[in-house]
């Protein structure tokens, strides 16, 4: 089904037509360096001003007809008709108005690809809030914090898109840390550890940590105190530095004992 001023619903497209948001996205990209990969280019609301930055822009659009039109409208960019879930994120900067129904798989893929440095993304508002840790961290956020800095740059009204979605959008940036808080070689173990704590059972975080890491309760209590974690804190309350402090204290035992429970959907 097509809408006269928007995308195709079967492709999950909601195109941006809000100039202040376009300007904000372009300004954030302008603060970065290197070639740009734009995903979900649509009608080129972002493509044309991005190309005007004088950068090498590769714009990816899944709809063949829109891709053809975009080639004529944005001659300063290279337009590729392809599925963004299959295109390598191999440029330093990734930017895009992400189709809302693809937000989770695209973000997961982005966070597991090691070649980009900065991302500027329009996502669903609630997803943007969660990924930025507003109101508490999610499992995915806590598992990736040591390698990425995520910031929320504002709420985008649903009226900024055509066709109008049922929820607002959020402007999010993700930057790869130049100095990771945890050695990348320990990433798998760290993520198992965080998963075990998030899904673990116990009357308090000290019990959960002790069971998840396979350490005595007194060791868990000392690790929490040393990391500055309040006694009644929940896993979602911990900041990145607190998670990494706990990992440094308990990870030798963790590598042998962590057995995370199956992750609940929507974490």
pLDDT tens digit sequence for 99-112: 988 998 999 899 98
Same domain, 200 and 222: yes
pLDDT above 70 for 4: no
Best-predicted range by mean pLDDT (7-16, 133-142, 234-243): 234-243
Last-in-domain residue among 120, 147, 176: 176
Asked if residue 84 belongs to a domain, the reply is yes
| Section 67-76 average pLDDT | 96
Same domain, 122 and 75: yes
Same domain, 44 and 60: yes
Binding site listing for S-adenosyl-L-methionine: 14, 16, 40, 61, 83, 97
- The 3-class secondary structure across 53-71, one letter per residue, is CCCCEEEEECCHHHHHHHH
Same domain, 233 and 140: no
Last-in-domain residue among 141, 176, 211: 176
Asked if residue 117 belongs to a domain, the reply is yes
Same domain, 102 and 54: yes
Same domain, 150 and 234: no
Same domain, 167 and 76: yes
Asked if residue 30 belongs to a domain, the reply is yes
Same domain, 206 and 252: yes
Binding site listing: 14, 16, 40, 61, 83, 97
| Section 228-240 average pLDDT | 93
Enter the pTM of the model: 0.86
Give me the domain span that covers residue 135.
Answer: 9-176
If you search the block for the tokens 């507003």, which residue do you land on? Answer: 134
Residue 8 near residue 2 (C-beta atoms within 8 A): yes
| 8-state DSSP, 237 | G
**Domain tally, the chain:** 2
* Cα distance between residue 256 and residue 191, in whole Å: 14
């Amino acid at each position: 089904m097509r809408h006269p001023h928007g995308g195709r619903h079967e492709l999950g497209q909601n195109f941006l037509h809000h100039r202040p948001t376009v300007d904000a996205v372009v300004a954030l990209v302008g603060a970065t360096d290197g070639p740009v990969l734009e995903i979900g280019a649509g009608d080129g609301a972002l493509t044309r001003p991005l190309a005007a930055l004088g950068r090498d822009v590769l714009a990816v659009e899944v709809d063949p007809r829109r891709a053809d039109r975009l080639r004529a409208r944005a001659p300063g960019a290279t337009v590729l008709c392809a599925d963004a879930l299959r295109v390598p994120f191999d440029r330093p900067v990734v930017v895009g108005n992400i189709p809302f129904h693809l937000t989770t798989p695209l973000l997961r893929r982005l966070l597991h690809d090691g070649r980009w440095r900065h991302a500027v993304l329009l996502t669903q508002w609630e997803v943007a809030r969660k990924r930025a840790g507003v109101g508490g961290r999610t499992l995915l956020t806590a598992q990736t914090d040591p390698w990425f800095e995520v910031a929320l740059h504002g709420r985008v009204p649903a009226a900024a898109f055509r066709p109008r979605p049922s929820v607002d959008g959020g402007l999010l940036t993700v930057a790869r840390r130049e100095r990771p808080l945890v050695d990348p070689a320990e990433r798998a173990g760290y993520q198992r550890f965080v998963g075990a704590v998030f899904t673990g059972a116990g009357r308090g975080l000290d019990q959960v940590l002790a069971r998840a890491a396979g350490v005595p309760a007194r060791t868990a209590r000392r690790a929490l105190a040393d990391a500055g974690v309040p006694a009644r804190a929940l896993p979602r309350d911990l900041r990145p530095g607190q998670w990494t402090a706990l990992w440094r204290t308990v990870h030798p035992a963790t590598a042998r004992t962590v057995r995370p429970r199956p992750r609940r959907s929507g974490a």
